[in-house]
């Protein structure tokens, strides 16, 4: 690893010169004209943020344009001067992460006035942006209602993103991924970047550090950016910039409180009364100059503690039958199902501190430390209500990250960026029962130690990223390199306690399981993955009305030698933005995006290779004999081992993306956008039992194996594909006059032949039968979010110190209303028999009932409305916000999961397709927030 960093440093010292916008900064393009509309070349232009002592200046070129790259996000003051003209000063120009703000400045003759001061506003359209993106500004982060206070929840405000299907979490407990999908791709195919470096848990695909919203300045949601800098994932990316201190002391202190007495009753709750809930979250933040105009500091911290209740919604008949069967001798002896409510606990601690230092006017340093600790008891895996307390999970996650950055303006047209990160993550997952085996009765109950859920892993990240950008006339050139070393130590104990599957309750009573699986050997693994990337790009303003992004990116993931991976991972990109008229922008583009390997799948192939550990599977008479003998503490001599192996020609998954978009500026602050996206996922990960001999009949396999030394050879391969077509329509009003709104609708369709890495077909000899709607297929989705200040009251910040004496106006004064409305069609789910009906000797099962295709079930449509009402009262040196908010205000019953188990008889089980899990009912929360 040291050699790799030395090589990287050599490249940094002699970097190539190439291009485009940064993941952590924005840009500002200013056009200067005179009163007749003629361009003014050679004008002196300066941009500044006084509170940060940040100032950059340059002169306009022959076209009257001045371009500022790598600007920190925020509100800027613009100063323009030129001989013969009155000086211009404009304030309040917003620059956002990853985007270019456009500002037109018209200078007046010197005789008209000595100086012109205005409240400047950038154009609503960005004609230089070739990709579809949405920026979530500070106002929305602070004011929109989000119960979890996880800033990534705002991702779903983009119509281009959809929530991950809850059915995915049932297939891989503890492997939650990111929680959202772009272009029908898997949630693990997204990338989150904070302050320019990765923030992904590479084992699961979810984000690592959960920062307090108080620490977030703003972030951008990019649905496949065509700049070559965008990469590291086949799906979308989230680019986050954290807050920094300023010369002005600022911060807040807050407390949120929930009580279950005010909440609605959960829709599927079988217990006799409403579950209890007491949740409190408190925190504070502060930022200031440690040395005026030179060194700045900012920190944010918050603590959550929530104690609630939950219940396994099992019928009394099922509880009685299971407890009666487990009372007899056998491996499940003494295990009884829990009844009534049991306690749940959720705790979270978040802390981040950031320091910024202006080394010189052209050199800025940044250092940030972030820590997140999360503990969930009896509610860790989001499992459906047919899981007994013994099968539920408890988790503890600890994440620590140290990030540094150095931005150097080498001259007026060249900027260099260096980012480094050292991070570590520990995840400890435990199930309620850990001493005996687990069992399931098809479609009715899961109890005991589940097959998956007990694991301990440590993931360490060391990352270095270097880029340089150079403005050359109409070309903004940029190049960069990245190196990330990820090291994983894990002990994933899937199946080590043994697991039995019963077809029905009579089979359980008769001690006749239809299936048995148990793992043996050493679950401990330790390996490293080295990722390298490089890109070169050009952001070319080919004409006043045409901008072209083009470039190429290279990604390589080096895995342990067991994996024979390809390295020719070159990604060409091109994006166009054409402005045929003042209020219109037409965009289009094409690119390929290489994905990362999901380390949970890599770990499984290493762990169950046969050298470390393996599994044994029994069915029918032999499974029953093992059960009646009290289990199999040692391997059964009559059973061949089942192993997992990588495909000999493993390749990186990637996506091919094409899009077209038309955006129109309706008025000063309103825009409307129509877009089409085509996304093709290629070489997606899946698992296949390649040791089965051809089926005896239809999908039923016999005992013959291609290699008789093994039972199942589960091959991890990249052979699956997906196809997404989606059209989106969005209306947006940017924040102005205390009103902001975004509304979007997407119609899309996603088909694939595998939706997650461990998914297996029900017949490896008939893979075309697996081509069906994806688990990530959501046909319709609507998202609306908005902020609105009632038109009453006064604003002390604007010098208004004359409040009204009218009682009604005083009551409604300084009241803000914020809301989020989401609606979507249901998700697909895969119908199953609930046992290994095809005798594939795999788990999880893949056998479907006759007449049902893959993913042919659907959950009902979902609708939710979250509303927040805030009253601001001036207090001391700041103001106090009194807040009431409700989540799922209309208390709509949103079904997340239906029971997919048909059973083995000709008629389905009574519970087939019935609701199995629902989203939260209406909840109410109150808070106080003092800001200064």
Q: Which two tokens stand for residue 827?
A: 């998700």
**pLDDT recorded at residue 15:** 34
**pLDDT recorded at residue 352:** 98
pLDDT bin (cut points 50, 70, 90) of residue 35 is: confident
Domains of the chain with bracketed CATH: 2-123 (2.60.40.10), 134-931 (2.40.170.20)
The residue-averaged pLDDT of 446-458 equals 94
Q: For residues 492 and 562, give the distance between their C-alpha atoms in angstroms, rounded to a whole number.
A: 19
**pLDDT recorded at residue 55:** 85
The per-residue b/e assignment along 751-783, b for 16 or more CB within 10 angstroms, e otherwise, is: bbbbbbbbbbbbbbeeeeebebbbbbbbbebbb
Q: Which of 5-14, 26-35, 464-473 has the lowest mean pLDDT?
A: 5-14
Percent of the chain beyond pLDDT 70? 94
**pLDDT recorded at residue 113:** 57
> Does the pLDDT value for residue 270 go beyond 80?
no
β-strands 237-242, 191-194: how paired?
Answer: parallel
Q: Which two tokens stand for residue 719?
A: 């052979």
Q: Dump pLDDT digits (tens) for 745-770.
A: 999 999 999 999 999 999 999 999 99
The residue-averaged pLDDT of 687-712 equals 97
Is the bond leading into 844 cis (omega within 30 degrees of zero)? Answer: yes
State whether residue 174 is helix, strand or coil: coil
DSSP state of 598: -
Residue 505: CB atoms within 10 Å: 19
Q: Dump pLDDT digits (tens) for 897-909.
A: 999 999 999 999 9
**pLDDT recorded at residue 802:** 54
Q: Are 268 and 323 in contact, with CB atoms under 8 Å apart?
A: no
> Does the pLDDT value for residue 530 go beyond 90?
yes
Q: Which of 85-89, 866-870, 923-927 has the lowest mean pLDDT?
A: 85-89
Q: Which of 109-113, 152-156, 451-455, 531-535 has the lowest mean pLDDT?
A: 109-113
Rounded (10°) CA dihedral 494, 498, 504, 508: -160
Q: To 5 degrees, how large is the angle CA 692–CA 694–CA 697?
A: 120
> Does the pLDDT value for residue 8 go beyond 70?
no
> Does the pLDDT value for residue 10 go beyond 50?
no
**pLDDT recorded at residue 62:** 87
Q: To 5 degrees, how large is the angle CA 346–CA 352–CA 354?
A: 170
Q: Which of 262-276, 327-341, 831-845 has the lowest mean pLDDT?
A: 262-276
Contacting residues for 812 by C-beta, under 8 A, at least 6 apart: 790, 792, 793
Location of structure tokens 């929109």: 144
Residue 673: CB atoms within 10 Å: 20
Q: Are 789 and 815 in contact, with CB atoms under 8 Å apart?
A: yes
Does the pTM surpass 0.95? The reply is no
**pLDDT recorded at residue 3:** 42
> Does the pLDDT value for residue 624 go beyond 90?
yes
Query: Residue ranges of the alpha helices (H) in 608-681?
Result: 620-628
Q: To 5 degrees, how large is the angle CA 537–CA 542–CA 544?
A: 130
498 alpha-carbon distance from chain centroid: 33
Helix (H) or strand (E) holding 577: strand 570-581
pLDDT bin (cut points 50, 70, 90) of residue 17 is: very low
For the chain, the C-alpha Rg in angstroms (whole number) is 29
Q: Which two tokens stand for residue 435?
A: 């001493």
Mean pLDDT over each residue of the chain, to the nearest integer:
91
Q: Are 162 and 180 in contact, with CB atoms under 8 Å apart?
A: yes
Most confident of 7-11, 50-54, 472-476: 472-476
| Neighbour-count burial of 316, counting CB atoms closer than 10 A to its CB (0-12 exposed, 13-18 middle, 19+ buried) | exposed
Q: Are 781 and 159 in contact, with CB atoms under 8 Å apart?
A: yes
Starting from the edge strand earliest in sequence, which strands make up the sheet with 74-81, in order? 54-59, 44-49, 74-81, 87-95, 115-119
Q: Which two tokens stand for residue 154?
A: 């705002």
Among 673, 595, 622, which residue's Cα sits nearest to residue 160?
673
> Does the pLDDT value for residue 452 go beyond 50?
yes
Q: Are 655 and 235 in contact, with CB atoms under 8 Å apart?
A: yes
**Number of H-type helices and E-type strands within the chain:** 8, 48
> Does the pLDDT value for residue 379 go beyond 80?
yes
310 alpha-carbon distance from chain centroid: 27
> Does the pLDDT value for residue 169 go beyond 90?
no
Q: Are 859 and 827 in contact, with CB atoms under 8 Å apart?
A: yes
Helix (H) or strand (E) holding 374: strand 363-377
State whether residue 11 is helix, strand or coil: helix
The residue-averaged pLDDT of 599-625 equals 96
Distance in angstroms between the alpha carbons of the first and the last residue of the chain = 46
Q: Dump pLDDT digits (tens) for 239-255.
A: 999 999 999 999 999 99
Q: Which two tokens stand for residue 718?
A: 């990249």
Q: For residues 146 and 159, give the distance between their C-alpha atoms in angstroms, rounded to a whole number.
A: 17
Q: For residues 701 and 762, give the distance between their C-alpha atoms in angstroms, rounded to a whole number.
A: 10
pLDDT bin (cut points 50, 70, 90) of residue 120 is: low
> Does the pLDDT value for residue 450 go beyond 60?
yes
**pLDDT recorded at residue 119:** 67
The residue-averaged pLDDT of 516-539 equals 97
């Amino acid at each position: 690893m040291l050699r790799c960093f030395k090589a990287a440093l050599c490249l940094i010292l002699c970097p190539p010169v190439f291009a485009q916008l940064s993941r952590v900064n924005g840009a500002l393009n200013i056009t200067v004209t005179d009163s007749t509309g003629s361009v003014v070349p050679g004008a002196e232009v300066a941009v500044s943020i006084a509170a940060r002592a940040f100032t950059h200046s340059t002169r306009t070129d022959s076209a009257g344009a001045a371009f500022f790259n790598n600007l920190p996000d925020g509100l800027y003051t613009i100063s323009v001067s030129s001989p013969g003209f009155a000086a211009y000063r404009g304030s309040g120009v917003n620059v956002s992460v990853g985007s270019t703000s456009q500002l037109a400045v018209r200078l007046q003759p010197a005789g008209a006035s000595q100086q012109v001061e205005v409240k400047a506003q950038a154009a609503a359209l960005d004609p230089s942006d070739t990709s579809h993106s949405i920026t979530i500004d500070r106002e929305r982060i602070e004011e929109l209602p989000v119960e979890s206070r996880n800033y990534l929840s705002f991702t779903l405000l983009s119509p281009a993103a959809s929530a991950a299907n809850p059915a995915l979490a049932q297939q891989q407990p503890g492997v939650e991924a990111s929680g959202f999908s772009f272009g029908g791709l898997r949630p693990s195919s997204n990338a989150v970047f904070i302050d320019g470096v990765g923030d992904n848990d590479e084992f699961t695909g979810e984000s690592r550090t959960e920062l307090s919203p108080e620490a977030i300045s703003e972030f951008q949601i990019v649905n496949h950016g065509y700049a070559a800098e965008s990469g590291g994932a086949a799906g979308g990316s989230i680019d986050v910039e954290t807050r920094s201190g300023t010369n002005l002391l600022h911060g807040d202190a807050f407390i949120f409180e929930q009580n279950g007495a005010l909440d609605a009753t959960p829709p599927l709750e079988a217990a006799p009364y409403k579950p209890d809930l007491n949740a409190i979250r408190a925190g504070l933040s502060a930022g200031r100059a440690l040395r005026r105009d030179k060194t700045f500091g900012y920190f944010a911290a918050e603590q959550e503690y929530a104690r609630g209740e939950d219940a396994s919604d099992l019928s009394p008949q099922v509880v009685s039958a299971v407890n009666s069967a487990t009372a007899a001798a056998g491996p499940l002896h003494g295990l009884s199902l829990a009844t009534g409510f049991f306690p749940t606990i959720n705790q979270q601690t978040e802390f981040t501190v950031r320091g910024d230092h202006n080394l010189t006017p052209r050199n800025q340093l940044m250092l940030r430390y972030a820590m997140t600790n999360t503990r969930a008891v009896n509610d860790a895996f989001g499992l459906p209500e047919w899981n007994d307390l013994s099968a539920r999970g408890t988790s503890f996650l600890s994440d620590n990250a140290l990030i540094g950055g150095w931005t150097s303006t080498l001259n007026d047209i060249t900027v260099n960026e260096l980012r480094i990160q050292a991070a570590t993550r520990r995840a400890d997952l435990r199930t309620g029962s850990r001493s005996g085996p687990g069992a399931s009765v098809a479609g009715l109950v899961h109890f005991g130690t589940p097959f998956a859920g007990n694991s301990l892993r440590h993931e360490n990240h060391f990352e270095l990223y270097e880029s340089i950008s150079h403005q050359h006339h109409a070309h903004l050139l940029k190049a960069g390199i990245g190196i990330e070393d990820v090291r994983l130590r894990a002990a994933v104990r899937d199946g080590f306690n043994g697991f039995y599957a019963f077809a029905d309750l009579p089979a359980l009573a008769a001690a006749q399981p239809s299936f048995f699986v148990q793992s043996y050997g050493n679950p401990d693994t330790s390996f490293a993955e080295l990722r390298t990337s490089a890109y070169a790009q050009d952001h070319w303003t080919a004409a006043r009305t045409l901008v072209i992004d083009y470039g190429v990116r290279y990604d390589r993931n080096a895995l342990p030698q067991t994996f024979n991976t390809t390295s020719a991972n070159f990604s060409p990109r091109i994006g166009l933005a054409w402005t045929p008229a003042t209020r219109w922008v037409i965009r289009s583009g094409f690119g390929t995006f290489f994905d990362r390997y999901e380390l949970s799948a890599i770990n499984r192939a290493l762990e169950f290779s046969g050298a470390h550990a393996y599994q044994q599977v029994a069915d029918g008479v032999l499974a029953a004999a093992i059960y009646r003998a009290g289990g199999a503490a040692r391997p059964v001599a009559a059973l061949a081992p089942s192993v997992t192996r990588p495909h000999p020609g493993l390749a990186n998954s990637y996506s091919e993306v094409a899009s077209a978009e038309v955006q129109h500026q309706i008025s000063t602050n309103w825009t409307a956008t129509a877009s089409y996206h085509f996304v093709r996922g290629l070489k997606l990960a899946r698992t296949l039992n390649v040791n089965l001999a051809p089926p005896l009949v239809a999908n039923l396999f016999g005992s013959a194996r291609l290699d008789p030394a093994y039972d199942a050879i589960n091959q991890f391969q990249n052979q699956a594909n997906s196809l997404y077509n989606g059209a989106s329509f969005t209306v947006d009003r940017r924040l102005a006059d205390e009103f902001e709104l975004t509304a979007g609708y997407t119609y899309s369709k996603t088909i694939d032949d595998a939706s997650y890495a461990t998914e297996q077909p029900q017949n490896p000899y008939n893979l075309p039968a697996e081509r069906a709607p994806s688990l990530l297929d959501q046909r319709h989705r609507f998202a609306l979010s908005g902020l609105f200040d009632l038109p009453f009251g006064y604003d002390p910040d604007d010098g208004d110190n004359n409040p009204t004496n009218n009682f009604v106006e005083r009551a409604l004064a300084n009241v803000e209303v914020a809301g989020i409305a989401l609606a979507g069609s249901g998700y697909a789910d895969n119908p199953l028999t609930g046992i290994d009906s095809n005798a594939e000797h795999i788990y999880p099962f893949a056998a479907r009932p006759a007449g049902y295709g893959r993913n042919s079930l659907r959950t009902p449509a979902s609708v939710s409305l979250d509303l927040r009402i805030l009253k601001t009262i001036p207090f001391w040196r700041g103001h106090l916000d009194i807040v009431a908010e409700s989540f799922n205000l209309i208390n709509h019953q949103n079904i997340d999961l239906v029971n997919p188990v048909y059973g083995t008889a000709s008629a389905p089980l009574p519970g087939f397709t019935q609701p199995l899990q629902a989203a939260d009912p209406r909840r109410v929360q109150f808070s106080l927030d003092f800001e200064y």
